[in-house]
Amino acid sequence: MSWVDRFFSTIASRLPTNNPPANYPYPMAREKNFDEILADIRAITTRVELIVEEIPAPQKLAPFAFAMTADTSDDIATARFVLLHDPDGQEGWGGNFRCVTFVRAEVDHEMASDPIVANVGWSWLIESLEKFGCQYVQPSGTVTRVASASFGTLGERADDSELEVRASWTPTDGSAIAEHVRAWLHLLEQCAGLEPIPHGVTPLTRSNLTQ
């Protein structure tokens, strides 16, 4: 099993499994084929602070899969996204697509120590999905805050504080998967503390996904 398979299998094992039974299939719009969906994703432009790359997708979780990474140019935050597609659906998905995501960002120690930061991290995900009009069901995930201090021979190392969001959900509109990728990128921007781009301002962008 490759590191990518192990990575996303680990995410899947850590996500809550007590979702209520889904009444599958949910009504879905006309779906694009998987190649069309990937073309939409690869055409996404991102703000210049983000470096986005396609990586090998896990091979054993679904008949079709796609994976990518995103990192901030200052190395403050990193993220992973995988899209799974099974035309027959899978138990627990409630549909025939599944987005599995991971975002980790350095945060200041005060933020990491705040007991409500986990709720904030989850609300950023939901707000990002709403911002891009994503239709979805069966969301699940975990938000972890980590604050560590070093001692002894490592005593000179600066304290580390991180926020980590792991989540998965089922898109119900197969023609708009790219919007879910945009929502994930927006979540990364929020976790990394990137300033919102003012309305009416055209940002510097990277042209498309690096393969």
pLDDT confidence of residue 20: 42
Question: What DSSP string describes 55-89?
Answer: EPPPSSSSSEEEEEEEEETTSSEEEEEEEEE-TT-
pLDDT confidence of residue 195: 82
pLDDT confidence of residue 196: 75
pLDDT confidence of residue 29: 46
What is the mean pLDDT for each group of 10 consecutive residues in the chain (211 residues)? 51 47 46 89 92 93 95 93 94 94 82 72 95 95 76 60 92 95 96 74 50 53
pLDDT confidence of residue 19: 44
Asked if 50 contacts 71 with a C-beta cutoff of 8 angstroms, the reply is yes
End-to-end CA distance of the chain: 22
pLDDT confidence of residue 106: 85
pLDDT confidence of residue 183: 97
pLDDT confidence of residue 4: 47
pLDDT confidence of residue 169: 97
Asked if 127 contacts 67 with a C-beta cutoff of 8 angstroms, the reply is no
pLDDT confidence of residue 163: 87
Phi–psi pair at 146, nearest 5 degrees: -130, 130
